Structure 1
């Protein structure tokens, strides 16, 4: 005796099979695409071995990556695929070669000595893309800023923190503010500026401050008692917001990150800072020697 499946049961089985196939496809389509371990996806933590400072030539289409401390872990130049420049803009770049120092080099890291200086040579992709001449920039790997949003920046030349913000800064540091000025503001309302505190009985203190609503973040600069070189060599004992510029400001789950350029009589200090709790940490730093 042969067993026959009733037509109604066959119809039901087909319906279930079709439904199952649709729900399986839908679940696959809905699954988010991630890269790397789930715990690390889009954490926003910046790493020094994925970043390299550099500067542009006179045409603004070539970049020389600055060599860093040989004892630290640095990125392979071939992994650097983009350049970030003030105010938070980006272009693609391609690696050319390691450029050896020429016998004609005067030791300056500027556009006039670009072809004679030692470093990692890059070119900006697309001839239509052009950076400013002799500009400090930051080279980055493809995923260095994964999870970050770059904020729109506006440079401020004569702005000040509000009296409310100054009072909050004085309370946080327990020191009187004697001088302050803004460096830049973001479209989201954050303010970045330089504050100099009264000396009192301790060493001179100044801070780069990011103020956003109820948040204050400090990067402190501790000076010395040399009135001619308090903060930087030959600074005449002066420090102000005019000595600073920002390559970028970004936000991620980790918090704020800044690309800071600090101008001095002998050259420029370059630093990437990232929020770590209520403070900044240094991700990477370098500098350009530019004495005329």
Structure 2
């Protein structure tokens, strides 16, 4: 997913951010999708996919996602180291979120902890009539920055196609976190039954706004 002030020419990208770490890349070529392609944006179909291709000298894992950036992005954005976790959100934060949205909480987990004591929580609220809501929240210096995932409840497909009306916490993953001036930026992947959404968000006025996004079709293989 290319990023630099929302858009970047892939040919000008010089680094890939993978799992919150920077690795140099070299633009190789742009090629069309081959006739042998099955139309899936997966590692299994990589050689058949069309698009921009890069050389990465460092070893990466099959299926890793990357942000493509240039030197200006590296200069303007500071990496925020974090560790993934899965524990119940503290009572105070849950109370704050419940009051903010005026809803009872069904489930809430801390999914990432940063070295500076910041944390990211994922919260599922009760369904009101047919209104479903999940919220990713970033706790920073006693301020909560939120990213809402509202949806109309459907027992077959609510947030994602064929999700059975269930918000699976494991399907929303934080990939990278940055701080730029007073704003926080996060990269996420949100998996579904048929594919995945990659998003790059920036905080503004207490909420996260998407500044870059991409979609990959991945199923069935």
| Shorter-chain TM-score range | over 0.9
**Residue equivalent to 1:42:** none
The alpha carbon displacement at 1:275 in A equals: 0.7
Instruction: Check whether the contact 2:130–2:152 (CA below 8 A) recurs between aligned residues.
Output: no
Instruction: Check whether the contact 1:216–1:278 (CA below 8 A) recurs between aligned residues.
Output: yes
**Residue equivalent to 1:79:** 12
**Residue equivalent to 1:106:** 38
**Higher fraction of helix:** 1
Task: Tell me if 1:185 matches 2:131.
Answer: no
**Higher fraction of strand:** 2
The alpha carbon displacement at 1:202 in A equals: 5.3
**Residue equivalent to 1:237:** 165
Q: Which moved more, 1:175-184 or 1:76-85?
A: 175-184
TM-score by length of 2: 0.93
**Residue equivalent to 1:95:** 27
Question: Gaps (5+ residues) in structure 2?
Answer: none
Instruction: Check whether the contact 2:185–2:200 (CA below 8 A) recurs between aligned residues.
Output: yes
* 1:261-289 C-alpha deviation (Å, 9 max, x unpaired): 11111111100001112111111111111
* 1:191-236 C-alpha deviation (Å, 9 max, x unpaired): 1121111122351111111123411111111111321111000111
Cα separation, 1, equivalents of 2:136 and 2:31: 35
TM-score by length of 1: 0.71
* 1:156-187 C-alpha deviation (Å, 9 max, x unpaired): 1x312101110011111121111112221111
Task: Tell me if 1:248 matches 2:171.
Answer: no
* 1:5-36 C-alpha deviation (Å, 9 max, x unpaired): xxxxxxxxxxxxxxxxxxxxxxxxxxxxxxxx
SS at structure 2 position matched to 1:144: helix
- How many aligned residue pairs are there? 217
Instruction: Check whether the contact 1:193–1:241 (CA below 8 A) recurs between aligned residues.
Output: no
Cα separation, 2, equivalents of 1:290 and 1:254: 36
Instruction: Check whether the contact 1:183–1:244 (CA below 8 A) recurs between aligned residues.
Output: no
Question: Gaps (5+ residues) in structure 1?
Answer: 1-45, 50-74
42, 47, 61: which one aligns with 2:5: 47
Instruction: Check whether the contact 1:177–1:198 (CA below 8 A) recurs between aligned residues.
Output: yes
RMSD, aligned α-carbons: 1.4
Cα separation, 1, equivalents of 2:196 and 2:163: 13
